[in-house]
Amino acid sequence: MSTWAISQFEHDEYYGEFATKEDAIAEGNAAGYEGFWVGQRREPSPLSDGVFAADLIESALETLEDEWGLECASFEPTAAQLKTLEEEVRIVVDRWFDQYNLHPKWFIVDNPEAIPPF
């Protein structure tokens, strides 16, 4: 279930986490805003979504090649192996972000809607 946020500006400075659109509108009215915006809050994608197994393998192969020559870097994992590696690494990355509370402190606002002045 999505929650709602409020702002005096269409594209930034949203705040709050309201259960319903009506609750967000009530907050704007109570704050005395003469026209404001409400929108649905959405958390950003997990940071581990930016981790790709192919990039990890490429980096490892480049290191092997630099240190030991081209012959040492002569393997190519299958798509299934890359998928397994990516899934497992993302679990570790997510756990690490959780451990150090390094998740984004911001949120995305979808479908902003202008609330006209009374």
Task: Give the 3-state secondary structure of the chain.
Answer: CCCEEEECCCCCCCEEEECCHHHHHHHHHHCCCCCEEEEEEECCCCHHHHCCHHHHHHHHHHHHHHHHCHHHHCCCCCHHHHHHHHHHHHHHHHHHHHHCCCCCCCCEEEEEEEECCC
Distance of alpha carbon 20 from alpha carbon 13, whole angstroms:
19
Quote the mean pLDDT of the chain.
90
Read off the pLDDT of residues 36-53 as tens digits, 9 standing for 90 and up.
999 999 999 888 998 999
Q: Enter the pTM of the model.
A: 0.65
